[in-house]
A = this chain, B = another copy of it.
Amino acid sequence: MNHDQATLEQPFDREPPQRPRSTPAPVTVSVLEEARRLTEPVIRAGLDRLDPDTRHACGYHLGYWDADGSPLDAGGKGVRPALAVLSARAAGVRGGAPRAGVVAAAACELVHNFSLLHDDLMDGDTERRHRKTVWARFGPASAILAGDAMLALANELLAEAGSPTTAAALGHLNLTTRRLVKGQAADLAFEKRARVTLSECLQMAEDKTGALLACSASLGAMLVGAPARTTAALADYGAHLGLAFQLIDDLLGIWGTPARTGKPVWSDLRARKKSLPVVVALASDRPAGGQLRRMYAEGALQDEAALAEMANLVDRAGGRAWTEARAERESAAAVAALAGLDGPASVRAELAALAELLCRRTY
């Protein structure tokens, strides 16, 4: 199969896993769309509180407008808003998305984008979602300030939620932000180290991706005053989903189609990222593992042929199969965690379908 033929149903250029899977229900896609529709006006109104230059950089990053200010519709997937909106619904509040879920959604999406703005600068990434990154377009200071503003705005909007549990929710959001920092610090440190253990790498993924998905999946429920058992089950779902999400991301970082992922081809291998498939392959005792270790040690090789060979070695050393299997397992664990929820069965079904969709994505 050609990379360009990859579809939502066949995410990678190999056979899909054999376990029978339901087709992602259209309802799941509409959950993503609905959450974006509810959350975007709150974020846009938040941006209007910022000074014009910082507002412009933030809206550019979020895909609301282009560098010259012309309107765009080029945002992210909106996974975190969808989780936050569903989270408030899972706590049993009837009738559409309660306001608290939307505020939690805006806060989580802003924290996510704060981290992207700063990470892109630290990683030296010049492209995201098919467009220049903020630091590459407006300079490093703009990216730092836009990220800072988004983090402050996330906290400010959440502080205005007007719930008795607002302070607890803020504590949770900022603990999560600290974990994002910890994950990024580890990610950067790993690039300079010759050896990284699988357990260190999993911990990094849990911090960098799992923590904010767990927070998104539980913050709405926390804000509407759900019992601890409910928020714990939702956080557990989000943590497993987050790890699955990162595993898929790592696969797409090597075998994804740049036209769909919006990232330059081979970018992870070029940066010698210690992503999960790579770490598994580097630790492998198969001959391909040894060859890959030698190539990773020779830092200078950057040409396309060498990068394609590295991708091939990661696959042959078992890094790809392991990552796919682990993503399956984490996705299943996420769905299993939903058994602990008392809320409406329809919301549980939507959360399960969302997990399914995200693990079959190609972008």
Contact = CB atoms under 8 A, between A and B. Distances in A.
A119 B159 CA distance: 26
Interface string A147-161: 111011101100111
A185 B122 contact: no
Interface size grouping (class) on chain A = 35 or more
Best-surrounded residue of A140, A156, A160 (most CB of chain B within 10 A): A156
A122 B140 contact: yes
A357 interface: no
Q: Is the interface of A mostly helix, strand, loop or mixed?
A: helix
Interface in A147-189: 147-149, 151-153, 155-156, 159-162, 166-168, 170-171, 173-175, 177-178, 180-182, 184-186, 188-189
A121 B148 contact: no
Interface stretch (A46-54, A77-85, A315-323): A46-54
A43 to B, nearest CB: 14
17 contacts: A50-B181, A54-B185, A121-B144, A122-B144, A147-B148, A148-B151, A148-B180, A152-B174, A153-B174, A153-B178, A155-B155, A155-B173, A156-B170, A156-B174, A159-B167, A159-B168, A159-B170
A72 to B, nearest CB: 22
Best-surrounded residue of A147, A173, A178 (most CB of chain B within 10 A): A178
Interface of A: 49-51, 53-54, 114, 118, 121-122, 140-141, 144-145, 147-149, 151-153, 155-156, 159-162, 166-168, 170-171, 173-175, 177-178, 180-182, 184-186, 188-189
A189 B53 contact: yes
A314 to B, nearest CB: 26
Contacts of A145: 118, 122, 181, 184-185
Nearest to A141: B122
Q: List 10 A-B pairs, minimum CB-CB distance, nearest first.
A: A159-B171, A152-B177, A156-B174, A51-B182, A166-B167, A159-B170, A155-B174, A122-B141, A152-B174, A149-B181
